[in-house]
Amino acid sequence: MDLKEKRLQGEEVFAGRLLRVQRDVVRLPDGSEGVREVIRHPGAVAIVALFEDGRVLLERQFRYPHGREFIELPAGKLEPGEPHAETARRELLEETGYVASHWKRIALICPSIAYTDEKIELYLARGLEKREAKLDDGEFLEILTPTFGDAVAMIRDGRITDAKTVAGLLWVHAFRP
Long-range contacts of 106-111 (CB under 8 A, 24+ apart): 106/48, 106/168, 106/171, 106/172, 106/175, 106/177, 107/167, 107/168, 107/171, 109/163, 109/164, 109/167, 111/163, 111/164, 111/167
Q: How far apart are CA 103 and CA 121, in angstroms?
A: 12
- Res. 59 pLDDT band, cuts 50 70 90: very high
Q: What is the pLDDT of residue 176?
A: 86
Q: What is the pLDDT of residue 128?
A: 98
Q: Are 111 and 120 in contact (CB under 8 A)?
A: yes
SS3 161: coil
Q: pLDDT for 87-143, tens place per residue?
A: 999 999 999 999 999 999 999 999 999 999 999 999 999 999 999 988 888 889 999
Q: What is the pLDDT of residue 5?
A: 97
> 68 forms bridges with which residues in the sheet?
63
> 22 forms bridges with which residues in the sheet?
12, 38
Q: What is the pLDDT of residue 35?
A: 98
Average pLDDT, the chain: 96
Q: How far apart are CA 46 and CA 81, in angstroms?
A: 18
- Res. 165 pLDDT band, cuts 50 70 90: very high
Q: What is the pLDDT of residue 174?
A: 97
- Mean pLDDT, rounded, for 69-80: 97
Helices (H) and strands (E) in the chain, counts: 3, 10
What is the number of other CB atoms lying within 10 angstroms of the CB of residue 99? 15
The lowest-confidence range among 4-13, 54-63, 131-140 is 131-140
Q: What is the pLDDT of residue 134?
A: 86
Q: What is the pLDDT of residue 177?
A: 75
- Mean pLDDT, rounded, for 2-26: 97
Return all residues near 155 (Cβ < 8 A) that are at least 6 apart: 165, 166, 169, 170
- Mean pLDDT, rounded, for 39-45: 97
